[in-house]
């Protein structure tokens, strides 16, 4: 999907979550309808190996983790939780897709073998449109597993606000990623400087919901924004044209 050259790429963060339930088919479709160039979503495994989408490792605090349930059970209890196949269909044939692999050591589905990485690679390689897909994670080992299996796939290193941005950029370059994905408060301290330091990598920024922040980041040259409100971000840049 082509986007206006005078603004960053806009990803709907978990879809259009400012307007509807996040990480649902409806949220992804709405993000694209609102003018987002693509969507970002979070993938996990069910007990029987389905790739499902949810930010947390369970539907709500106190409920069983998804990794302990088969897809059929998950469907019965939380019918709004989509599979990766369903999300891909919802965004159409042109939109971009950022698949974030969840594998946090503090969550129930943490897996040292990184099976989710292998599952995602198999899924991506079975699809048309590989050039529209970016695989990201806070877990560098998961990204390494992706690259080991499929060096040609685009990967991006996510880094939280507690990580020094120059260190994150160094790691992303060392490990052969195409992007480094940093938090908005970190990048807003020096957008142009971090963009310059990141090159030739793309610098992507999450989560941007304030129009003034979006403009400042765009003026600094960032490549992409993740937002909960794609409609607001698209309107923000349309007003400046």
Token pair 């603004």: residue: 7
Query: What's the mean pLDDT in 64-93?
Result: 97
pLDDT digit string (tens) for 25-70? 999 999 999 999 999 999 999 999 999 999 999 999 999 999 999 9
Please say whether the beta carbons of 36 and 16 come within 8 A: yes
- What confidence score (pLDDT) does residue 86 get? 98
Query: What's the mean pLDDT in 67-78?
Result: 98
* pLDDT for residue 1 is more than 90: no
Q: How confident is the model at residue 6 (pLDDT cuts 50, 70, 90)?
A: confident
* pLDDT for residue 113 is more than 70: yes
pLDDT digit string (tens) for 182-238? 999 999 999 999 999 999 999 999 999 999 999 999 999 999 999 999 999 999 999
- What confidence score (pLDDT) does residue 178 get? 98
Q: How confident is the model at residue 175 (pLDDT cuts 50, 70, 90)?
A: very high
pLDDT digit string (tens) for 148-171? 999 999 999 999 999 999 999 999
Token pair 């790739």: residue: 51
Q: What is the dihedral of CA 120, 121, 127, 128, to 10 degrees?
A: 130
Query: What's the mean pLDDT in 103-132?
Result: 95
* pLDDT for residue 241 is more than 80: no
- What confidence score (pLDDT) does residue 55 get? 98
- List of domains in the chain: 11-239 (3.20.20.190)
Residues contacting 6, CB < 8 A, separation 6+: 237, 240, 241
Q: How confident is the model at residue 123 (pLDDT cuts 50, 70, 90)?
A: very high
Both tokens of 218, joined, read 């765009």
């Amino acid at each position: 999907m082509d986007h206006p050259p005078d603004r960053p790429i806009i990803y709907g963060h978990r879809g259009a979550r400012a307007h509807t339930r996040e990480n649902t088919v409806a949220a992804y479709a709405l993000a694209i309808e609102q003018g987002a160039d693509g969507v970002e979503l979070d993938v996990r495994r069910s007990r029987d190996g389905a790739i499902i989408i949810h930010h947390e490792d369970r539907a709500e605090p106190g409920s069983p983790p998804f990794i302990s349930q088969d897809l059929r059970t998950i469907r019965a209890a939380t019918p709004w939780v989509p599979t990766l196949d369903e999300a891909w269909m919802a965004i159409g044939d042109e939109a971009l897709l950022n698949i974030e692999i969840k594998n946090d050591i503090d969550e129930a589905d943490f897996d040292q073998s990184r099976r989710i990485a292998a599952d995602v690679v198999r899924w991506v390689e079975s699809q048309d449109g590989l050039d529209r897909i970016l695989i990201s994670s806070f877990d560098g080992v998961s990204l390494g597993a992706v690259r080991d299996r499929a060096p040609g796939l685009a990967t991006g290193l996510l880094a939280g606000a507690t990580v020094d941005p120059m260190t994150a950029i160094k790691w992303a370059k060392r490990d052969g990623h195409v992007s480094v994905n940093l938090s908005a408060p970190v990048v807003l301290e020096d957008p142009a400087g971090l963009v310059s330091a990141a090159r030739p990598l793309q610098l992507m920024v999450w989560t941007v919901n304030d129009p003034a922040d979006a403009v400042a980041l765009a003026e600094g040259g960032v490549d992409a924004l993740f937002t909960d409100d794609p409609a607001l971000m698209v309107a923000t840049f349309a007003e400046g044209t």
